[in-house]
Amino acid sequence: MCQLMGMNCNVPTDICFSFEGFRRRGGETDHHADGWGIGFFEGRGCRLFIDWQASTASPIAELVRSYPIKSTNVISHIRKATVGKVSLANTHPFLRELWGQYWLFAHNGDLKTLPALSAERFLPVGDTDSEHAFCWLLEQLSARFPAKPDAATLQTALSELAAELSRHGTLNFLLSNGEWLAAHCATNLHYIVRKAPFGQAHLIDQDISVDFDALTTPNDRVALIATQPLTDNEAWTKMQTGELVVFVDGQPTR
């Protein structure tokens, strides 16, 4: 299956260190070589990079690795194609607008069946089960709430919709509207919250370490979410099957 990575922080932060390890899983340390993408929220905008090439061979990935784009919400995906051909249209993350905000979505899993869409506002461009699922989620939210609801109501709705969609197959996903980042686990998702006192981190997929104490302030807080842990000297938390965690300002809420 695919690989997911997300970041949610209380201050704009770059993801260069984590991305350096993560992108190695796109054809070097793992076999996910059917495209990749990453999206960065910046204010009300979203900077999106996608490529059908493997992340280890993509010039765009090299740009992202060396360009310290700072963001409070980031979603990245490395694809192992199971449904839909290898193409730009089928490359995650997928981007849509709802309630005057951009929404970003990436999925890891295989949906055996798909719920029907009304064929009105939210339609897939490609032919993946993942983009179809994203359109369905937004369609259901739009039908329930003509205007954006409060955070607690929205989180409850997302939990209910994720549980319903999970009946169709394996549903690991990351979702963000730039204010928070939601992670839903079916099989494998892990997270870590980095906060003071910061220490050193060492990548699993590349022999690189960084001392976060030298790069942060005592008030910084960063949550990193990934299909599998990205470092081998930090304590990652494994999410439970069916669990939805919403990260706000670098910390998990439920």
Question: Tens-digit pLDDT profile for the chain (254 aa)?
Answer: 678 999 999 999 998 888 887 877 776 666 666 788 999 999 999 999 998 887 777 888 888 888 888 999 999 988 766 666 778 899 999 999 999 999 999 999 889 999 999 878 899 999 899 999 999 999 999 999 999 999 999 999 999 999 999 999 999 999 999 999 999 999 999 999 999 888 899 999 888 898 888 888 889 999 999 999 999 999 999 999 999 999 999 999 87
- The domain that holds 26 is classified in CATH as 3.60.20.10
- Can you tell me the distance from the alpha carbon of 152 to that of 157, in angstroms, rounded to the nearest whole number? 9
- Can you tell me the distance from the alpha carbon of 49 to that of 73, in angstroms, rounded to the nearest whole number? 14
Domain with 239, as residue range(s), is 3-252
Residue 160: the pLDDT is 97
CA-nearest of 19, 73, 8 to 47 is 73
Tokens of 72: 């409070």
Structural domains of the chain, count? 1
Q: DSSP code of 89?
A: G
- Can you tell me the distance from the alpha carbon of 61 to that of 251, in angstroms, rounded to the nearest whole number? 27
Residue 87: the pLDDT is 81
User: Residue 166: helix, strand or coil by DSSP?
Assistant: helix
Q: DSSP code of 203?
A: B
Residue 189: the pLDDT is 97
Active site residue 2: yes
Residue 83: the pLDDT is 65
- Can you tell me the distance from the alpha carbon of 180 to that of 73, in angstroms, rounded to the nearest whole number? 7
Check 2, 46, 135, 185 and give the catalytic one: 2
Given CA atoms 40, 48, 58, 60 in this order, what sign does their dihedral have? negative
